């Protein structure tokens, strides 16, 4: 084992960490907001909302993320004059923002489905009970449906967050030097695929370990009703 090489590799790859993390953070937060809206559309939006949501999900889950990234980065570049006229060019010319947009749209489809399932799993009795107390509309959604659905969605959502961290690796294909991009370059330069793979893999595993722990902690906090009561525990 050549520890100097491994240490140098680690130093290089950690340099790409801010890009990986910022892409993951932006696309997960933006994607979550969009996904909740998509799920609300799908469940409460009538037949139009349902059709829109299922079409969206079909397109973004049915095709590879890499193709979506290429379509946005290279494909939209073809409409440069129009994009310049709309003032969108400064954003769409940057590989970073194109990757973030693609990741966001992609995770919206996946987490949208998770939230849709969660919304549909809210027991009708709970909604009825709330209505019986005179709650309706936004208040009903905010106080009753949303918290119950959130608890229901968490395990699946945790998976999706982990998947998104891995998915940022694809941004390396459009020249972004995040962790995988730097790893790919190092491997191509040194031909020591195994060492670089181990270091890069360890970085991703560490991020995902921390994230899944955070989600598990949130899950624990949000489900006091599922914990053993002190009397039972004894």
Contact residues: another protein, CB under 8 A: 58-59, 61-68, 70-71, 74-79, 162, 166-170, 172-173, 180, 183-184, 187-188, 191-194, 197, 200-201, 204-205, 208-209
Count of alpha carbons within 13 angstroms of residue 24, beta-carbon side: 23
First to last CA, the chain: 51
Of 80, 119, 77, 82, nearest to 98 (Cα)?
Answer: 77
Token readout for 10 is: 């680690």
Smallest gap from Cβ 61 to another protein, in A, equals 8
Smallest gap from Cβ 92 to another protein, in A, equals 12
For another protein, the closer CB: 175 or 223: 175
For another protein, the closer CB: 100 or 170: 170
For another protein, the closer CB: 108 or 146: 108
Token readout for 229 is: 């009561």
Taking a C-beta distance cutoff of 8 angstroms, is the pair 110, 55 a contact? no
Smallest gap from Cβ 63 to another protein, in A, equals 4
Smallest gap from Cβ 191 to another protein, in A, equals 5
Contacts of range 221-225, beta carbons closer than 8 Å, 24 or more positions apart: 222/150, 222/151, 222/154, 223/151
**Which whole-number Å values give the CA distances from 124 to 37, 115, 129, 155, 178, in the listed order?**
21, 17, 9, 22, 46
Smallest gap from Cβ 158 to another protein, in A, equals 13
For another protein, the closer CB: 25 or 173: 173
For another protein, the closer CB: 61 or 131: 61
């Amino acid at each position: 084992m050549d520890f100097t090489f491994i240490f140098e590799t680690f130093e290089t790859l950690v340099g790409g960490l801010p890009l990986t993390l910022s892409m993951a953070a932006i696309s997960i937060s933006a994607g979550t907001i969009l996904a909740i809206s998509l799920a609300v559309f799908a469940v409460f939006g009538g037949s139009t909302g349902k059709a829109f949501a299922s079409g969206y999900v079909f397109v973004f889950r049915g095709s590879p993320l890499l193709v979506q990234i290429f379509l946005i980065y290279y494909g939209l570049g073809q409409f440069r004059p129009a994009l310049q006229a709309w003032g969108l060019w400064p954003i769409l010319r940057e590989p970073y923002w194109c990757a973030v947009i693609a990741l966001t749209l992609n995770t919206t489809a996946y987490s949208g489905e998770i939230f849709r399932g969660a919304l549909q799993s809210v027991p009708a009795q709970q909604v009825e009970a709330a209505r019986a107390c005179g709650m309706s509309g936004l208040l009903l959604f905010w106080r009753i449906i949303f918290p119950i659905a959130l608890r229901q969605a968490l395990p699946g959502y945790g998976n999706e967050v982990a998947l998104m961290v891995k998915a940022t690796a694809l941004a390396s294909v459009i020249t972004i030097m995040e962790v995988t991009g730097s790893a790919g370059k190092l491997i191509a330069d040194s031909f020591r695929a195994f060492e670089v793979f181990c270091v890069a893999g360890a970085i991703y595993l560490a991020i995902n370990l921390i994230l899944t722990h955070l989600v598990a902690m949130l899950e624990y906090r949000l489900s006091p009703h599922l914990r053993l009561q002190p009397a039972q525990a004894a």
